[in-house]
Amino acid sequence: MDLSLSEPCVDINLPETDLKEFASKAKDWNFLHGVIMKSKKDFSDDYVQIAPFLLLPSKYPKKEFNKAKLIQTSINALMHKVAHDYEFLQSTLKNTIEVDFFTSKLFDIYEKVHSEGFTQSISLGLLRADYMMHSTDGHKIKQVETNMISSSFAGLSVLITEYQRFALKELGHMEKIANIPNNNSAEGFAMGLVEAWKLYNKKESVIMIVVEDIVYNIYDQRVIEFCVRTLNPNIVVIRKTLKDLIETARIGPNKELLVNNMEVAVVYYRTAYQIEAYTSEKEWSVRLLIERSLSIKCPSIHYQLAGTKKVQQQLAVPGILEKFITDPKEVDEIRDVFMGIYSLDLNEQGDKATAMALKDPKKYVLKPQREGGGNNVYNEEIKLQLDGMKTSKERSAWILMERIFPPLQKNYLIKANEEVKIQNFISELGIYGVIMGDENQIFYNTEVGHILRTKPADADEGGIVSGAGALDNPYLVD
């Protein structure tokens, strides 16, 4: 499909000498301010590399940016209510859990703690709702997904905002800095963790970040961790892997979660969203132990299930949003950002969706129940995937979504060990939200910031950690 090409925010056809000099300065600024990651090729505690970023901010319609920000608290509340509706989650996921091992294991934990009664009724959500502008619909934003667990780059996004202001100033465009919106995502996420710690109400308790065995994106996590310490220096923050917790975690006499004899007030997951995190039944047992404890989980098991693609698909069914939202205006605002999303269950509707995808696969994206990027199927690969499970129940582990075709924009990608060159890019806007509450009420609900993740136009997947995407920021235009 031909995509419209948007002009850059400033003239970016820099002479080669000027480009090299400015790219070097840009790298130094970002190294100096911590826009960095661990290298996947040469991982070491002692070496870092620049996180990929765009030299200049990308133009974005102010109206659509503000729309995404304004509906974030509604998205937060919607996902909170979905997570607390046992019957809805059960009926929505019943076919999926028959064929998707990962979702079935999560749901098994959910059923156990639900039947036992939740020790801790309060859940904390640090969310990110992702959108792309759709070229064939007046450049309106359309939702890609809502991330309910380990929403990344709330830390580094704040730094890239400051960098791109610096870049415009250095290139002589001081008057354009006002077009880059303020961003408080790191402090916003940190405040959510602090508020949960306060609600737990034990001064000696700690916040625990559960992390992967090897963390490439550690500095994004550290920004939030250190923001917590800035907001309240009395809070101790610890970092543990699931493997660590096999040996060190236990439940105390009052169902408190104890790790190395420290009481944990808040468990903040930056892992546990992929099957690879659970290398044995012991990790699953740790997840169950944590869910049974008194600590406030971010996210709880039911929050995580609410973020599955199957739930996203079901929410797009006419009449379903009204089950959770009573205000018709709010319903319309949320439904307006939905693309067509279709079930692939073994029934008439699933067969119809399969036929649509096989007829014109370029119009769709095939999505499994996974987070973390790199899992979706595009173009002719959709045919191969669907042909292999056309009459199999395995189809229920996937959903089909109409593909969003965002406009193109020229820019320069700055990436470790790669030549800087001008090319076409597409962008995905993420809006961060924080919500906390129980089944009966919401105590805290706010929108806290944003991230623009930009990738080359010819890349299907755009994960920053996986290597295709880059940190960016919107430059707002009327």
Active site residues: 128, 145, 147, 152, 309, 367, 371-372, 453
Q: Which residues are annotated as a binding site for ATP?
A: 145, 309, 367-376, 378, 401-404, 428, 455, 461
How far apart CA 201 and CA 355 sit, in angstroms, is 55
- Among 428, 476, 401, CA closest to 128: 428
Determine the straight-line distance between the first and last CA of the chain, rounded to whole angstroms.
Answer: 26
Give me the count of residues in the chain. Answer: 478
75 CB-near residues (< 8 Å, 6+ apart)? 127, 129, 146, 334, 433
Rounded Cα distance between 165 and 155, Å, is 17
What single-letter DSSP state applies at residue 136?
Answer: G
Binding-site residue set: 128, 145, 147, 221, 309, 367-376, 378, 401-404, 428, 453, 455, 461
Q: How far apart are CA 436 and CA 127, in angstroms?
A: 11
Tell me how far CA of residue 182 lies from CA of 177, 233, 294, 303, in angstroms. 10, 25, 36, 28
Tokens linked to 425: 């890019």
Q: What's the token pair of residue 157? A: 């996004």
* Alpha-carbon distance values, 70 to 67, 185, 267, 448 (Å): 5, 15, 28, 11
Helix (H, G, I), strand (E, B) or coil at 110: helix
Burial class from Cβ neighbours inside 10 Å (0-12, 13-18, 19+) for residue 115 reads exposed
- 117: Cβ contacts below 8 Å, ≥ 6 apart: none
**Closest to 267 measured CA to CA, from 433, 122, 157, 82:** 122
Backbone phi, then psi, for 438, in 5-degree steps?
-125, -165
